[in-house]
Every structure is written in C-alpha cells, then in structure tokens.
Chains A and B, each alone.
Chain A
C-alpha cells in the first residue's frame, strides 16, 4: 500500500535555484524519512524527522513536517547539478513499527 505521495512527480530547475518537494501521507506516523536515489542506484538516507518535530536542517537541506496536514516538504537550497536525482519520502506508520511505506518519488533535474 502506498502511503506517501510526492509532489511534483518531476521538477526541472536551473542550477542555483531552490527546489521544493512535498510528501503527503494518509495515516498517523511515528517518523518520516527522505531519501535520494541517483539513477538506478541504491537509495541514500538524507534526513529523518520525528512526528514531534516541525523542522530539521542538514546542510543545504531543510525538511518540515506538518502533522495536522499530514504533509512534509523537502527544500534543497542553492541547487547543484549533483542534486539531480529522484527523491523519496518514507513513512513509519504509528500502528506498525515494522514497515516503511514509500511514495513514488519526485524526479529532480538541475539544469546547468
């Protein structure tokens, strides 16, 4: 079952611009994680935000979580060509500690 839904499905911006991706989910969660995947490769963890947190930063990444709206956003500031990848959110459901539920991802292209 798909819980997280990323929006937009694809995003193309100029290098140096900021990129924002959104993730919505349906049921209550413990935590939400964001991952990056370069074409055909394994996913790499970016950031985890707990349900009692509202915002988290890691370098050029900023993640927000709004549990009332059941949504999260990932902001990448000052984008670089190397940020070109697909970005996925994964939710850890409150009634199940054993599965992460993944969205279909946002494909981000940074144009030089």
Chain B
C-alpha cells in the first residue's frame, strides 16, 4: 500500500530535549516536505527536499533541521524544542510539487512543556 508513515504519532516532551520525528514514504517520490498546522494558521511549510541531499527552507524553518540521506526518509529534528513548537506536524511526499498529488502522513501531535 502506497503510504507516508510518521513516528511517533503523539509526543509530549520538555523544553530543550532533542527529538526526531521520522517520515518515510514507499512511493519512490523525489519531493518531500514538512508542515506544521496550528489553529487559524493553516499549513505552514517548514522544510522541503527536492531529492536526496537537496533540502531547502520553507516559510517557518527556525528551530528545525532536516536531512535527506535516502530517498524514502525525511526526518525532522528539533535540536532544542520550545513550547512555541507545540503543534501538529505533517510530512508529505509527491513526484513533484507543481503537478502532482501530495500524499500526507497521518500527523504527529507534539507538545513541548
């Protein structure tokens, strides 16, 4: 089954404790991206990747890091989480961004205390 998986689905952590949210897709997609969703603000892109070893900042990259060492994986790293990073996070993938369906993961609900 074609899918995007994220782990963990739920995470409660404390300020400053480094964490990684994993994202994996099995569709051989070149394009992957991370979004955060906050009430009233819609989806805001954090980082995106056009292909292996190619990543770029989205609209709200501060406080986040990503890597794309393999085509299927695109982890999101919070080196020192803060309470303002409490949010619902989505990973997405697609063959391209411009003309192709984006497939979304189920989301990771992160709470930073």
Listed in ascending order, the chain A residues whose CB lies under 8 Å from chain B are 1-2, 30-31, 33, 35, 40-45, 48, 50, 88, 90, 92, 97-100, 102-105
B100 CB to closest chain A CB, in angstroms? Answer: 8
Residue B41 interfacial (CB < 8 Å): yes
Known A42-B104, A44-B104; judge A31-B99 contact (CB<8 A). yes
B95 CB to closest chain A CB, in angstroms? Answer: 12
A100–B106 touching, CB < 8 Å: no
How many A-B contacts are there with CB distance less than 8 Å?
65
Listed in ascending order, the chain B residues whose CB lies under 8 Å from chain A are 4, 35, 40-45, 48, 50, 56, 58-59, 88, 90, 92, 96-107, 109
Chain A residues lying within 8 Å of B96, measured Cβ to Cβ, are 97
Known A2-B42, A99-B45; judge A40-B107 contact (CB<8 A). yes
The closest CB in chain B to the CB of A104 belongs to B42
Known A42-B90, A42-B107, A97-B97; judge A102-B102 contact (CB<8 A). no
- Which of B50, B88, B100 is close to A40, meaning CB atoms less than 8 Å apart? B88
Chain B residues lying within 8 Å of A98, measured Cβ to Cβ, are 48, 50, 56, 97
B48–A88 touching, CB < 8 Å: no
Known A41-B107, A42-B107, A99-B58; judge A30-B42 contact (CB<8 A). no
